[in-house]
């Protein structure tokens, strides 16, 4: 079993975020780690035959040349020469939407292993309801844009479908699929991925990081709370938590926006119509005013609001955003729009008890 001082680097990351974990600068609370050491890939196409791990099937492994990886129709990422490994774990038959055991499940994954590796491992947690294996480019986190995503920065990256196929919502009928989606896929995939890395490069990763946004942020929070010993750092982006309640909140938002629009009688283009409730231009007016009130609250006027707690106190929608006096023109919000936005930010409440059903904001300690 792998044993390394995991808590120390994790604390280091938190200390960086909090700016001050010690009131005595001469007494560091953390130790410096030795740098991760790079390695060159040993094998790629032979991984399928040489890698053995419990309940794991490698379906393909091949080297691809440096170039762009098409992540989606609108997103592509630069990548170095690397090995693409595809496979799945824990194949089984589980419950489908009919309630019968008639659906094939597995934890599908893809790993992308750079020929010249930086010695580090990156778990790319994906968004939405999962259900398909997004390309393991190591997206989302790195500030330099697509060219500085994890794969192109030399990390070995894994991505997975979190244990179920598409269409995604039907996995809810199967208890094991719910566990895999909730947290267990990470527990299954992480030791497998590290073992595969050892085969590919001749050594385990020196550092391992876990990152994602939205549902990926939720995965990251779950991994940090359940599997902290497997990773050295967690990068959480906009985590979706308590998802059933979040769904209620989203539906409440749709109800609120719908009060501002008139639908076509035939019901066509419902979503497009909903998006006219508050246009991107009008949201832009709101965001500019939030920036104006809050950007510098974190000590640096850099276009990013990082002191969100104080911002929630300082920003006043009614006061800070112009109210349209003669119809909407893209530079103001109507009184009705302001009310809808206020309602949405307050979130849905139990009509009997007044209890909030879903928190819209997270207060940092
Ligand atoms: Ca700022």
> Does 112 share its domain with 60?
yes
Position 269 in a domain: yes
The residue from 219, 241, 263 where one domain ends is 241
Determine the pLDDT at residue 195.
98
* pLDDT surpasses 90 at 242: no
CA 95 to chain CA mean position, Å: 27
Reported as a single tens digit per residue, the pLDDT across 259-305 is: 999 888 787 888 788 899 999 999 999 999 999 999 999 999 999 99
Interval between CA 282 and ligand 1 midpoint (Å): 22
In terms of domains, do 271 and 225 share one? no
Q: Model confidence over 39-96: pLDDT tens digits?
A: 999 999 999 999 999 999 999 999 999 999 999 888 899 999 999 999 999 999 999 9
Q: Ligand 1 centre and the CA of 292: distance in Å?
A: 10
Instruction: Give CA–CA dist 43/21, Å, rounded.
Output: 43
Q: What's the pLDDT score for residue 246?
A: 85
CA of 305 to the centre of ligand 1 (A): 5
What pLDDT, in 10s, does the model give residues 200-215?
Answer: 999 999 999 999 999 9
Q: Are residues 264 and 333 in the same domain?
A: yes
> Beta strand 207-213 with 233-237: parallel, antiparallel or unpaired?
parallel
- Across the beta sheet with 82-95, what order do the strands follow? 56-64, 82-95, 101-114, 156-160, 120-125, 207-213, 233-237
Domain boundary, last residue among 241, 264, 283 = 241
Question: Residue 295 Cα, ligand 1 centroid: separation in angstroms?
Answer: 4
- What mean pLDDT comes out for the span 143-150? 79
CA 153 → CA 141, 147, 148, 308, distances in Å? 12, 8, 6, 30
Percentage of the chain modeled with pLDDT above 70: 88
Cβ < 5 A residues, ion ligand 1: 295, 298, 300, 302, 304
Question: Does some domain include residue 8?
Answer: no
Indicate whether 197 and 301 sit together in one domain. no
Of residues 35, 37, 33, the one with CA closest to residue 12: 33
Start-to-end Cα distance in the chain:
35
**Quick one: pLDDT band at residue 169, thresholds 50, 70, 90?**
confident
Q: How close is the Cα of 303 to the center of ligand 1, in Å?
A: 6
Rounded distance from Cα 143 to ligand 1 centre (Å): 15
pLDDT score for 273? 87
| Domain end call among 241, 274, 299 | 241
For the segment 12-44, what is each residue's pLDDT rounded down to a tens digit? Answer: 333 333 333 334 455 566 677 889 999 999 999
Residue 150 has pLDDT above 90, yes or no: yes
Per-residue burial over 304-319, b = 16 or more CB atoms within 10 Å of its CB, e = otherwise: ebebbeebeeebebee
CA of 304 to the centre of ligand 1 (A): 4
Q: In angstroms, what is the span from residue 322 Cα to ligand 1's centroid?
A: 23
Q: Does residue 8 surpass a pLDDT of 70?
A: no
Position 111 pLDDT exceeds 80? yes
Number of structural domains, the chain? 2
Q: Are residues 222 and 265 in the same domain?
A: no
Residue 291 Cα, ligand 1 centroid: separation in angstroms?
8
Per-residue pLDDT at 145 exceeds 90: no
Same domain, 131 and 182: yes
The parent domain of residue 304 ranges over 244-346
If you average pLDDT over every residue of the chain, what do you get? 88
Q: In this structure, are 98 and 173 located in the same domain? A: yes
Are 340 and 316 contained in the same domain? yes
Contact 110, 86 (CB under 8 A): yes
């Amino acid at each position: 079993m792998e044993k390394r001082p995991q808590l120390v680097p994790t604390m280091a990351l938190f200390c960086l975020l909090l700016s001050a974990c010690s009131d005595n600068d001469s007494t560091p609370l953390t130790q410096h780690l030795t740098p991760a050491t790079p390695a060159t890939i040993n094998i790629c196409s032979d991984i399928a035959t040489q890698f053995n791990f419990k309940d794991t099937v490698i379906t393909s492994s091949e080297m691809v040349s440096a170039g762009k990886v098409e992540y989606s129709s609108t997103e592509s990422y630069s990548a170095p020469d690397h090995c693409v490994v595809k496979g799945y774990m824990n194949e089984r038959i589980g419950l489908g939407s009919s309630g019968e055991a008639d659906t094939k499940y597995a934890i599908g994954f893809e790993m992308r292993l750079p020929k010249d590796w930086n010695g580090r491992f990156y778990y790319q947690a994906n968004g939405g309801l999962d259900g398909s294996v997004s390309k393991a480019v190591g997206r989302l986190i790195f500030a330099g844009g697509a060219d500085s995503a994890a794969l192109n920065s030399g990390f070995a990256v894994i991505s997975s479908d979190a244990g179920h196929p598409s269409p995604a919502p039907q996995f809810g009928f199967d208890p094991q699929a719910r566990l895999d989606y909730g947290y267990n896929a990470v527990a299954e995939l992480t030791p497998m991925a590290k073992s595969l890395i050892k085969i590919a490069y001749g050594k385990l990763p020196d550092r391992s990081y876990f990152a994602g946004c939205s549902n990926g942020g939720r995965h990251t929070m779950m991994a940090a709370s359940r599997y902290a010993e497997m990773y050295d750092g967690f990068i959480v982006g906009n985590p979706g938590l308590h998802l059933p309640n979040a769904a209620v909140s989203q539906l409440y938002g749709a109800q609120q926006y719908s009060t501002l629009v008139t639908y076509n009688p035939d019901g066509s283009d419902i979503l497009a119509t909903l998006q006219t409730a508050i246009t991107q231009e009008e949201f832009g007016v709101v965001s500019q005013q939030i920036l104006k009130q809050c950007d510098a609250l974190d000590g640096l006027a850099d276009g990013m609001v990082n002191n969100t707690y104080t911002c929630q106190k300082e920003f006043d929608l009614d006061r800070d955003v112009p109210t349209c006096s003669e119809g909407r023109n893209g530079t103001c919000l109507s009184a009705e729009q302001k009310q809808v936005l206020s309602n949405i930010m307050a979130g849905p409440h139990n009509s009997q008890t007044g209890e909030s059903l879903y928190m819209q904001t997270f207060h940092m300690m």
